[in-house]
């Protein structure tokens, strides 16, 4: 039939805001969805047969059907076999409305799409040698006309037809048919027996290789596991497969969740906006989250693969079998699943190290988000573009909310609650209230006040004071909570906050006898307790305290809050040296580092020379004792000796002084390096560089500490150390040590180091130019170089053969690394960095709006800088805002930033 071409109405001047309060159930539901994809070079024809019926939950019976659709060419549409004409329907902006629809009917639509020119990487698009999809959040509407909302769940059957040069044809569920078609083509038909919303749909067609394994579930069913990659990457899949099998077993043992299909597949894609996607039974991953081998992947890369594989697999239950009713409930699946993957990683490695890593990320990025123009509750009240709400708040703070619930309920009750949640809501699209209700019903706990965490934005602040009554042997802790106002809510109600504590005396942890509470000897030695803060101010009194203690507060970072307690330097040294809580030992080391850096910053701002500064001898002794304590996890030692990052220092500041932060932190690093030179040298010499690589927790920890030692030694501008660093680069048998050495050479000021760095950079590219992910590391090392003129190097790299301005991984490696991870250069040169970033965003606005929007973050913080910088940053935001055809993604972030 002749194509029906309709011109869509022009976009409104200001994109529409979507509100949670306006949610209404869909007028129609879809029982079954039968899809057929005919893939040709240059275009794909999509036939969609939908079996629709009126939603009995709707307040009034629907008499018309509005489907979502974007960038589609409608060829034909028929209702119960009758071809519809122009008078039977009308187009809207990203919609198609069909009039006079009956109570139940079948709708067949045929559309044409062009994956090859789809640079947004949403819907069906082409990546290198394959076709693939990304449908979360609203990408399915770029494939066919559909009810593209998470509360419409349907049973999918998908047939993919393509030329035989694409031998692998995949979709969700189990393979039920395959065979040859005309003109050297073939087909495969997949059926997913579990209802799912369109955002979980997936399709892949390509020339791919795979590895295969088996997993026997707890009910003795055998599941086939396959990981598909481009043939050149087949040797990099073993770690992902091991991680997948560990994830399946862990989810059975910890949550009682068994996998449900006959096959589970992962496909690695080079062009991908996100890290990975949990499509039912067919997870599509960014290559950076699948491929790993020692020669090409750092320890951090190995850990990321393990964590992301687990995260997407765990979504099979927390996101797929039970999904979210609407996108305001996004943290229902993401926060819960981040918590699950974090616990998995903690069980696979070091629990304390994992907690330190998670909290570092949270306090550096999510706290900044809470204090910025894009601040929003865990469950937002409104959005313009949902892609902008795949945020640290939804994911990382969302996970902290779940962690607090687990802490408050205890392990047994939390498991009962999740069991009830999955049992009660299997096959449903639900809300955060449904999740909390299941935990409350299973445990018998009233969680009404706790739900404020879902509706109030911002980072709560705890102000703690204490008093010791020696005569009564009573110790009192008074805790006040507050939360800064946000545009949506000026006056916050008190949160329900679990505050885990211990008390340290001269001999270590003291037993805790909380007034009017029973001691806890059943689950431990009564030296650790979770206080429940529910009022704006509460006082907790401990009895039988025979000496004035040092309080160990917020152990394990038991709540996502900012804690204020007037610790002395001596208190912090006690905590760093003796606290039984590993997290708080690290936290004390960070606070000691902060104190030293802040003293240096004050001197810098007074115009004084750093040479006059001296490190406190007790602080040096504390650091040395940590270095010499062989009982400590080497990874923890590495973290305890690593100073707070510039990003964290900036987050803590009311007004960011970029130069003071950078140069003061650098000065303190040099002081520590001088004082502990012999200890760092001993650690570096003791490491056996020839030992075979292993991605075990112990081996990763040893490499981490050794490379921290190298980093400190390299700031001393010692030719012997520079030569040793270059030798590590040359001789290393793993990418972790290669990148560590290359990074140190690139950032060292010494002329010899710079000469060796240039040679090493050229050698690195020559060796690894055909490995895209490795080249990304090479790009990122250069983009984050803190020496002057880095912006010029970044611009040069944009013209390098290694760079592809349409590939999200390349953009992140170059543009995001420079703008987010190189403050001293991004904020230099009278705003040249700001102009550079704005230029990239304007280009990406039409090419890939999601990536454009995510790059905006550094400019959104303009109010935290000096007036001169504010003016320059705001000018670039206004230039972006004035760009014709601004996408919803970019418009939302820029408009909120300029308020």
- Residues 263-276 as b/e (b if ≥16 CB within 10 A, e otherwise) read bbbbbbbbbbbbeb
What is the number of alpha carbons within 13 Å of residue 521 lying toward its C-beta?
A: 4
Cα–Cα dist 363/583, whole Å: 14
Q: Are the CB atoms for 326 and 284 separated by under 8 Å?
A: no
CA separation for the pair 717, 750 (Å, rounded)? 6
As to burial, measured by CB atoms within 10 angstroms (0-12 exposed, 13-18 middle, 19+ buried), residue 772 is buried
For residues 534 and 536, what is the distance between their CA atoms, to the nearest angstrom? 7
d(CA 719, CA 300): 29
SS3 828: coil
CA angle 698, 701, 704 (to 5 degrees): 155
Assign 630 to helix, strand or coil: coil
Report CA dihedral (663, 665, 671, 673) to the nearest 10 degrees: -110
Question: Which residues 6+ apart lie within 8 Å of 547 measured at CB?
Answer: 505, 506
Q: How many CB atoms lie within 10 A of CB 1?
A: 9
Judge whether 312 counts as a catalytic residue.
Answer: yes
Residue carrying structure tokens 């309709």: 6
User: Of the residues 122, 312, 334, 675, which is catalytic?
Assistant: 312
Which strand (E) or helix (H) includes residue 878? helix 867-881
Helix (H) or strand (E) holding 28: strand 28-40
Instruction: Give the per-residue SS3 of 54-84.
Output: ECCCCCCCCCCEEEECCCCEEEEEEECCEEC
Quick one: CA dihedral 278, 281, 287, 293, positive or negative? positive
The full DSSP string for 635-653 is HHHHHHTSPPPHHHHHHH-
Residue 876 to residue 869: CA distance in whole angstroms: 11
Find out whether 148 and 30 touch, Cβ atoms under 8 Å: no
Left (φ > 0), alpha (ψ -120 to 50) or beta: where does 71 sit?
A: left
In DSSP terms, which residues pair with 131 in a beta bridge? 126, 205
Residue 864 in contact with residue 650, Cβ under 8 Å?
yes
Return the SS3 of 765. Answer: helix
176 neighbors 189 (Cβ within 8 angstroms): yes
Q: What are phi and psi of 416, to 5 degrees?
A: -60, -40
What DSSP letter does each residue of 592-613 carry, written as one string? HHHHHHHHHHHHHHTT--GGG-
Say how far apart CA 504 and CA 547 lie, in whole Å.
Answer: 9
How many other CB atoms sit within 10 Å of the CB of residue 435?
27
Confirm if 791 and 829 have CB atoms less than 8 A apart: yes
**Cross-strand bridge partners of residue 43:** 40
45's tokens: 């024809």
- In this structure, what are the phi and psi dihedrals at residue 17, rounded to the nearest 5 degrees? -90, 135
Across-strand partners of 374? none
Structure token digits, residue 243? 């991680």
Q: Which of 821, 751, 756 is nearest to 790 (CA)?
A: 821
Please say whether the beta carbons of 455 and 497 come within 8 A: no
First CA to last CA across the chain, in angstroms? Answer: 51
Q: What positions carry a catalytic annotation? A: 312
């Amino acid at each position: 039939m002749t194509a029906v071409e309709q011109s869509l109405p022009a976009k409104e001047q200001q994109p529409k805001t979507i509100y949670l309060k306006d949610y209404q159930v869909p007028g129609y539901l879809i029982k079954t969805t039968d899809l057929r994809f005919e893939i040709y070079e240059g275009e794909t024809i999509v036939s969609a047969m939908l079996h629709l019926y009126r939603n009995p939950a709707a307040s009034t019976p629907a008499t018309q059907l509005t489907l979502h659709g974007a960038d589609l060419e409608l060829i034909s549409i028929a209702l119960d076999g009758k071809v519809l004409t122009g008078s039977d329907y009308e187009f809207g902006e990203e919609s198609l409305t069909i009039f006079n629809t009956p109570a139940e009917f079948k709708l067949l639509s045929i559309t044409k799409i062009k994956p090859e020119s789809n640079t947004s990487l949403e819907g069906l698009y082409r990546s290198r040698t394959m076709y693939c999809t990304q449908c979360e959040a609203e990408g399915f509407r770029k494939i066919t006309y559909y009810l593209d909302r998470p509360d419409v769940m349907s049973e999918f059957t998908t047939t993919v037809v393509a030329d035989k040069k694409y031998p692998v044809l995949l979709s969700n569920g189990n393979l039920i048919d395959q065979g040859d078609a005309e003109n050297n083509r073939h087909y495969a038909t997949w059926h997913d027996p579990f209802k799912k919303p369109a955002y979980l749909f997936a399709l892949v067609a390509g020339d791919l290789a795979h590895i295969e394994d088996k997993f026997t579930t707890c009910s003795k069913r055998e599941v086939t596991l396959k990981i598909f990659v481009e043939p050149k990457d087949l040797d990099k899949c073993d770690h992902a497969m091991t991680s997948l099998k560990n994830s399946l077993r862990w989810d059975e043992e910890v949550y009682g969740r068994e996998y449900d299909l006959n096959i589970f597949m992962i496909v690695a894609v080079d062009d991908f906006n996100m890290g990975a996607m949990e499509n039912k039974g067919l997870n599509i991953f960014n290559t950076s989250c699948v491929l790993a081998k020692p020669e090409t992947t750092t320890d951090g890369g190995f850990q990321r693969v393990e964590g992301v594989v687990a995260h997407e697999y765990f979504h099979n239950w927390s996101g797929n079998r039970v999904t979210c009713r609407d996108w305001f409930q996004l943290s229902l699946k993401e926060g819960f699943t981040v918590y699950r993957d974090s616990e998995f990683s903690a069980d696979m490695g070091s629990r304390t190290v994992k907690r330190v890593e998670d909290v570092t990320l949270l306090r550096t990025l999510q706290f900044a988000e809470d204090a910025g123009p894009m601040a929003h509750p865990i469950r937002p009240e409104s959005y313009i573009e949902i892609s902008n709400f795949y945020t640290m708040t939804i994911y990382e703070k969302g996970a902290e909310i779940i962690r607090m619930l687990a802490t408050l309920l205890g392990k047994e009750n939390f498991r009962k609650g999740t069991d009830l949640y999955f049992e009660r809501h299997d096959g449903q699209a639900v809300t955060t209230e449904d999740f909390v209700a299941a935990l409350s019903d299973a445990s018998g706990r009233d969680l009404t006040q706790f739900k404020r965490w879902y509706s109030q934005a911002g980072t709560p602040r705890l102000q703690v004071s204490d008093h010791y009554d020696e005569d009564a042997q009573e110790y009192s802790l008074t805790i006040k909570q507050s939360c800064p106002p946000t545009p949506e809510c000026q006056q916050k109600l008190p949160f329900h906050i679990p505050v885990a504590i211990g008390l340290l005396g001269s001999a270590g942890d003291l037993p805790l006898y909380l007034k009017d509470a029973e001691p806890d000897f059943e689950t431990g030695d009564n030296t650790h307790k979770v206080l429940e803060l529910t009022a704006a101010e509460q006082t907790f009194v401990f009895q039988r305290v025979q000496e004035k203690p040092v309080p160990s507060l917020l152990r394990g970072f038991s709540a996502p809050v900012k804690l204020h307690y007037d610790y002395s330097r001596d208190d912090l040294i006690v905590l760093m040296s003796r606290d039984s809580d590993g997290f708080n030992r690290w936290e004390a080391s960070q606070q000691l580092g902060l104190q030293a850096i802040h003293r240096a910053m004050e001197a810098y701002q007074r115009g004084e020379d750093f040479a006059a500064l001296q490190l406190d001898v007790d602080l040096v002794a504390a650091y040395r004792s940590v270095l010499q304590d062989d009982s400590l996890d080497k990874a923890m030692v590495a973290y305890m000796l690593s100073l707070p990052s510039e990003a964290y220092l900036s987050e803590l500041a009311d007004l960011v002084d970029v130069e003071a932060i950078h140069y003061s932190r650098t000065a303190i690093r040099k002081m520590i390096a001088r004082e502990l030179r012999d200890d760092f040298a001993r650690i570096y010499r003791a490491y056996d560089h020839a030992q075979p690589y292993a991605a075990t927790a112990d081996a990763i920890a040893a490499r981490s500490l050794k490379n921290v030692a190298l980093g400190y030694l390299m700031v001393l501008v010692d030719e012997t150390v520079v030569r040793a660093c270059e030798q590590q680069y040359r001789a290393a048998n793993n990418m972790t040590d290669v990148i560590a050495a290359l990074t140190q050479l690139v950032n060292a000021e010494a002329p010899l180091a710079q000469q060796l760095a240039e040679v090493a950079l050229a050698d690195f590219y020559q060796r690894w130019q055909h490995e895209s992910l490795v080249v990304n590391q090479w790009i990122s090392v250069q983009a984050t170089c803190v020496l002057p003129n880095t912006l010029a190097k970044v611009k040069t790299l944009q013209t390098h053969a290694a760079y592809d301005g349409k590939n999200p991984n390349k953009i992140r490696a170059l543009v995001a690394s420079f703008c987010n991870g190189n403050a001293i250069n991004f904020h230099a040169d009278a705003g040249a960095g700001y102009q550079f970033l704005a230029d990239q965003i304007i280009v990406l606005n039409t090419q890939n709006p999601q990536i454009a929007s995510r790059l905006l973050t550094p400019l959104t913080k303009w109010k935290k800088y000096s007036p001169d910088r504010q003016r320059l940053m705001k000018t670039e935001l206004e230039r972006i805002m004035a760009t014709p055809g601004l996408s919803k993604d970019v418009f939302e972030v820029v408009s909120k930033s300029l308020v």
